[in-house]
């Protein structure tokens, strides 16, 4: 690959990384704490592309022409086929098109990632209490709802259905990036809206219930929440949760 092609490739990759990092787009790929690293990587790639162009421009023209001549006539090199520039198309797609977050199709084909938390801090004052799907599920399964009591809690996630039609509220959990995402699921019972579509984002207010199910994928425990209120909401800027949330 010529230096010019290398520079273009680095510039496009760096530009795509910077564009994602300066907006909420990067949250479709990695967890929130990695933004500084992405910004640094994007800046380095752009600087490297500029340095490559500057170095090539500063070289004596005779040297550039001589290398070009050897490549064309001396048998020591060859022109890159023009079709190789098609390799840049995925980069343009990354720059111009925002990919969707992982959805119910992925969630229901993976087992729940719920694990025992280190502890169960006292819930803050005020009702309903805003909890992540992970926080509620951990308290419901491993603390048997003792730290929840009968207090109303508010959780937000997207809707998914199992093969029997049972509705779940789900968030995908990240260790690092979307490639390692795993679901945490809460079953919905009580005053569940009669018509729900998969992947609809739902804000649920409800209370703890002892009802549980087993995940058919990995036999993990899935707690339920007794729904008192539910309303559709827009997808959040960060569709994922992380450990400790």
Sign of the four-CA dihedral 165, 166, 167, 172: negative
Contact predicate 35/238, CB 8 Å: no
Give pLDDT, residue 14.
77
* Least confidently predicted of 80-84, 166-170, 191-195, 228-232: 80-84
Higher-scoring residue by pLDDT: 178, 166: 166
Contact predicate 179/168, CB 8 Å: no
Secondary structure class of 102 (helix, strand, coil): coil
The mean pLDDT value for 113-141 works out to 93
Higher-scoring residue by pLDDT: 4, 119: 119
Asked whether the predicted pLDDT for residue 1 surpasses 60, the reply is no
Give pLDDT, residue 72.
47
Computed over every residue of the chain, the mean pLDDT equals: 82
Cis? peptide before 96, omega within 30° of 0: no
The mean pLDDT value for 119-137 works out to 94
Sign of the four-CA dihedral 24, 29, 32, 35: negative
CATH topology of domain 104-242: OB fold (Dihydrolipoamide Acetyltransferase, E2P) (2.40.50)
Picking from 224, 227, 47, the residue whose alpha carbon sits closest to that of residue 128 is 227
Whole-number percent of the chain with pLDDT over 70: 80
Give pLDDT, residue 185.
97
User: Token pair of 227, please?
Assistant: 């729904």
The mean pLDDT value for 151-157 works out to 97
Give pLDDT, residue 98.
62
Whole-number percent of the chain with pLDDT over 90: 45
**What stretch(es) of the chain map to CATH 2.40.50?**
104-242
CA distance 177 to 150: 35
Q: At what angle do helices 3-21 and 89-96 cross, to 10 degrees?
A: 20
Phi/psi for 55 (5° steps) reads -65, -45
The mean pLDDT value for 84-96 works out to 61
Asked whether the predicted pLDDT for residue 30 surpasses 80, the reply is no
CA distance 243 to 181: 11
Angle at 187 between CA 229 and CA 214, to 5 degrees: 165
Give pLDDT, residue 75.
47
Contact predicate 199/136, CB 8 Å: no
Q: What are the start-end ranges of the E strands in 73-192?
A: 129-130, 153-161, 167-174, 182-190
The mean pLDDT value for 92-115 works out to 79
Give pLDDT, residue 198.
95
Higher-scoring residue by pLDDT: 199, 14: 199
Q: 99: pLDDT confidence band, cut at 50, 70 and 90?
A: low
Asked whether the predicted pLDDT for residue 78 surpasses 70, the reply is no
* Least confidently predicted of 51-55, 85-89, 130-134: 85-89
Give pLDDT, residue 63.
55
Asked whether the predicted pLDDT for residue 142 surpasses 90, the reply is yes
CA distance 184 to 196: 19
User: Token pair of 230, please?
Assistant: 């539910």
CA atoms within 13 A on the CB side of 197: 5
């Amino acid at each position: 690959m010529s230096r010019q092609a290398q520079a273009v490739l680095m510039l496009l990759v760096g530009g795509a990384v910077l564009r994602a990092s300066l907006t909420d787009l990067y949250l479709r790929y990695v967890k929130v704490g990695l933004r500084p690293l992405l910004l640094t990587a994007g800046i380095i790639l752009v600087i490297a592309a500029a340095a490559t162009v500057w170095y090539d421009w500063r070289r004596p023209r005779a040297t550039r022409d001589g290398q070009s001549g050897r490549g064309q006539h001396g048998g020591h090199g060859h022109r890159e086929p023009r079709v190789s520039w098609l390799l840049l198309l995925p980069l343009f797609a990354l720059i111009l098109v925002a990919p969707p977050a992982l959805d119910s199709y992925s969630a229901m084909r993976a087992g729940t990632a719920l694990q025992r938390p280190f502890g169960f801090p006292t819930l803050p004052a005020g009702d309903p209490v805003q909890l992540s799907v992970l926080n509620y599920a951990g308290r419901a399964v491993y603390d048997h709802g003792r730290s929840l009591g009968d207090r109303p809690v508010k959780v937000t996630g997207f809707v998914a259905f199992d093969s029997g039609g049972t509705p779940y509220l789900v968030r995908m959990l990240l260790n690092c990036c979307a490639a390692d995402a795993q679901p945490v699921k809460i079953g919905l019972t009580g005053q569940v809206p009669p018509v729900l579509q998969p992947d609809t984002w739902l804000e649920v207010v409800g209370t703890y219930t002892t009802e549980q199910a087993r995940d058919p994928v990995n036999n993990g425990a899935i707690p339920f929440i007794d729904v008192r209120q539910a309303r559709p909401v827009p997808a959040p800027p960060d569709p994922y949760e992380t450990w400790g949330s």
